[in-house]
Structure 1
Amino acid sequence: MLFSKYLTACVSLFSMAMAVTISQNTINRGFLNLDIGDITIEDGVYWSIIDNAISAMAGSLKVGQGSGFYITSTSSLIASTVTLLSPLGSLENNGIISFNALQSLTAPVYNLVGLSFTNNGEMYLGGDGSVLVPVQSITSATWDNNGLLVFYQNTRSTGPVLLGAPLGTINNNGQICLYNELYTQTNNIVGTGCITANTDSSIFFSNTLLNIDPNQTIYLADSASSLRATAISVPKTFTVAGFGNGNTIGLDIPLVNLPPLLDAWDYDASAGILTLRGAGLLSQNFLIGTGYDNGLFSITTDDDLGLLSVPFGAVTYSGPVPNPGIPAACQPCKTLPDSPGTSATTSTTTIVSTNSDGSICTEVDGIVIATDSQGSWFTTTTTISETCASNPTTTITST
């Protein structure tokens, strides 16, 4: 056997004290210690880590342009834990970052802190949400999203998405997408970006005493999505698109309807503003756009998973959205991309060697990378043809 070990990718891993740089496409399966200081993935290459139960990054992470950093769990039971907890660490993404535990029954833990977060590319955090409560937080003190940021669950859970440091500021000039998620705001939101609620997702503005930029667009993309805001005495105006087809906009208290003294809601048809009122002086304004029919609004109860139920605390609109389609400030949402190395592969390699007597030997090997019945990865190398040996041989090595 001339070829006894198959490398799944050409690996160039230059390690220095407290730093590692990925300069060629790299796939690692199984246990891997990421407590190695700063991680840099150079432009145009990827690092795909598969079935590493705990990925605890100790330093900063930088993903270059056209690059990818993938952490994937293919286990049907145990999901991934991914953390970046260094108080001085930073996360900068100019390519694709994907943390994917969609195949795992238990909830993932994605806890990214650090000093700063900057996303100029695409970033995906996905899990199942059926068992246990997931952690989905990017709570860096300095927080900037200029690209696409996706949070995805197969099944909605009570665990909220948390963005930015509490009482701090997040700057969103890009696109944030939610699938089966609850996003709870805990800080100022500035920027001209968009937050989209897809597939039974909810957005809760829990502290409306803080600044929530009216230039930030909230897009309710389907009939099961919802928006809730804490009512205050000096109301804000939130920019909302996609209201209609039965989705809801509400407050954290019941709406008070005492006509003719007080209406629980009213719609200014010329300005396109829906006002909701609770407890007399407490209210909020929502710029939903023009074209709505007053006869199709009605009061309902908001009891979305992960939020306290508010009887008669929301308004729904039974008609279609008057101005449908993705708003100008928003981008199309995407689901999680495929991770390199997560599918079984078959390939061949040819080895040519020269014996001591000068004769030339040629060996053709077939390589299969797959998982066994227990979900463990293995590599099988089989000699298909060999001029220097009469019988094919098989070697199985763990990877």
Structure 2
Amino acid sequence: MMGVFGEPGLVLTEGDGCYVTDADGRRYLDLLGGIAVNSLGHGHPALVAAVQEQAARLIHTSNLFTTPGQVALGERLLEIAGAPEGSRVFLCNTGSEANEAAFKLARRTGRPDVVVLEGGFHGRTMGAISLTSKEAYRAPFEPLVPGVRRVPYDDVEALRDAVDESVGAVLVEPIQGEAGVVVPSQGYLEAARRITRDAGALLILDEVQTGIARTGEWFGFQTLAPGLVPDAVTVAKGLGGGVPVGGLITFGPEVSGLLTAGQHGTTFGGNPLACAAALAVLDTIAGDGLLTHVVRRGEHIAARIDALGDARVTGTRGRGLLRAVLLRDAVAPQLVVAAREAGFVVNAPTANAVRLAPPLVISDAELDTFVDALPTLLDRAGEKETS
């Protein structure tokens, strides 16, 4: 394998519910969910049955044709997004692809520039990485796509100053996952909506990590800014429960008409297998009441961590089951290793934050095993830092 991911921490061979098993037969509580991907955990019967049934019937057709599942998934995405009449969906495979489509949508306004926020992560393809904040990701591949402006995160005045008649869109993550599960101030998304509307620019929300019930609503913007209507939303990760599928949702006929026949495409996007998986995920989330479940589990783990009273933990951040445990000391990478050795899978987006994005079906009892172990894990992380 090409060394772009570094040395893997584990070789995983099986999954069951909220647990994964490595090649040595050791079991781990998966508190990362494939980085917010495995919405229903591992081996969920509804997802397994949908994939098996569809694989036996039809896996791929190309987008010279359509399928009932593709149409049904488009309709469901418009429904859960609260999109108005005349809205449309473009189905693809990944979050990067979804954001590439959004970038092209912005260019079709006739305005060349896009405004993004410092700390934002939008993918690794050339267009998506041009939008991404972290310089270490961008620098090896410069020159990148021009016309990208960066403004400080959660700064309304800086955003207002940056959005002029040359800006086609503002791209915002409702919660910045890769920056450490950073939540904007109340009213920031609404301010972004007003600023873009006044300037005639699009407001595009990157919901790749926050979408599909992760925050306790179908989309993060519905959690943070109820009633807000964006111009477009990108989605991927949790939509397929582990099967690659993503999409761009455009709101209303004017925005939806910006990309026309021949201006964008994909070979695998919206294939029958991926659509069957996504529909099974959406049906299960709705049918099993997982939106409410996610809110309650998120509140539970935040309260439990706060109740530890451990001075090495300065708090928690996030919504629903996208949470960060904030650390006094820069030992998050060491804590990840200590957690893995103790049978927990988490990750460290920053040196002072550990990210939790477990399957949406996780229980309080499963979450409690991690919280109960956390003080000991911090002890071991401190030992690793000094060794």
TM range (shorter): under 0.3
Superposition TM-score, scaled by structure 1 size: 0.22
More strand by share: 1
More helix by share: 2
Greater relative contact order (CA < 8 Å, ≥ 6 in sequence): 2
Superposition TM-score, scaled by structure 2 size: 0.22
Return the index of the structure with the highest Cα Rg. 1
